[in-house]
Structure 1
């Protein structure tokens, strides 16, 4: 049975070539954009205006919880809101324990650094992370993992696109650290918060859009070849069995 639900994030990229692609849909729609950015925006504004870290933490936490409650009352999916709540909670707890408003952003530094390491490792072993994730979402390998892995890695055009996209995302995470860490070190909380917001969801949306431009055509061609192979196997089942 078909479904009208649109995937978000890398899940939207996994559908590239089959459906109309929308960046807004990929990043969670207008409501998802607001819910993702509002707690961080409120944190920056409140701390700059009041210089009261405790009040800022309380209000930001209340907003994050309220967003989940509203979705629950409207009987909508709360997974995105819950993941956002978890991330905000980690950031707020970190700032509260240290008593430093700038430490609200420390968790983001650590996750960006971790992503950079993972992407570099994936490139070093010639399994580009973007390709692995998108293909995993597109065709979950419940069995024959090696066959699944070789299936898309044998397509040189597709692997090249995934490699370029992986370098793109690595650059996004690295640029965030290059810009934001000096602001953290010099304790410019207002500028740090502004940079975090501008280099958060807007950068994410831009990276998803450019990734789509890079991988859509190679992925579409790969899917066409997959379908042709399946049709050929269905038409000549004995030939495929004899090769096994």
Structure 2
């Protein structure tokens, strides 16, 4: 079930079911700490900087971007630390680079991100509107209550709005970045991708966790 999978993914990412966890720690864990931030940002940053300085040959900026992602993966494997985040970044960077090399357009390096934003945004919004918020499914299984949240009007309403908020975030990214892609403004597109990445993700995680903590702390106190 998707909820169980999402809840399991959250646990593997280090998120806790304890509502007493600090918001700062939850956000920091979700981003992967300094290492996760660097692994997430540096490949794209390397591409944007090199492409801006020297658009041709395209292979140079793409090769450095993929090389940085590959280096992070190798370091994780050598240190025997979980390579999933870095490996995911490497696969994404390699796929995007392959597409850009095939078409010869630097802007196509951002196509996978545009597709991801479109899919995630649409799924989040539709799921919330039909009463099966993705956020609710993930939190329900993370907190060990499965689908019981759907019988609680307060939780159902909160997860509805959180689902819409997350969907709006992905669709906002798409609405800003797609016109830049269509007009081949590679440098600005890459810059805004970085600006609309972790700087928007972190506050959304914080707000989500604050709402979740308030919901479940109140639920714990009500029987008393």
TM-score class, shorter: 0.7 to 0.9
The number of aligned residues is: 212
Cα deviation 1:168-223 (Å, max 9, x = unaligned): 11111111012111111111111000000000111111211121222220123335
Instruction: Give the 5 Å matches for 1:82-231.
Output: 82-139=87-144, 148-149=146-147, 151-222=148-219
Contact in 2 for aligned 1:7/1:25 (Cα 8 Å):
no
- The 3 A distance-change label for structure 1 pair 134 and 87 is farther
Contact 1:92 1:104 in 2 (8 A): yes
The equivalences for 1:67-86 within 5 A come to 67-86=72-91
Q: Deviations over 1:37-81 (max 9, x none)?
A: 000000101111111211111111111111011112222111111
In 2, Cα distance between equivalents of 1:20 and 1:27: 15
Aligned equivalent of 1:235:
none
Mapped pair 1:33 → 2:37: yes
| Distance in 2 of aligned mates of 1:200 and 1:115 | 14
- Return 5+ residue gaps in structure 2 as ranges: 1-9
TM-score relative to the length of structure 2: 0.86
Aligned to 1:232: none
**Match of residue 231 from structure 1:** none
User: TM-score if structure 1 supplies the norm length?
Assistant: 0.80
Larger radius of gyration: 1
Q: 1:134 Cα shift?
A: 1.9
| Structure 1 residue 152, shift from structure 2 partner | 1.3
Q: CA 1:91 to 1:223, structure 2 compared with 1: closer, same or farther past 3 Å?
A: farther
Distance 1:212 1:16, change over 3 A: farther
Range with bigger deviation, 207-216 or 26-35: 207-216
Contact kept? 2:121, 2:169, Cα under 8 Å:
no
Counterparts of 2:178 and 2:135 in 1: how far apart (Å)?
Answer: 25
C-alpha deviation, 1:16, in angstroms: 5.5
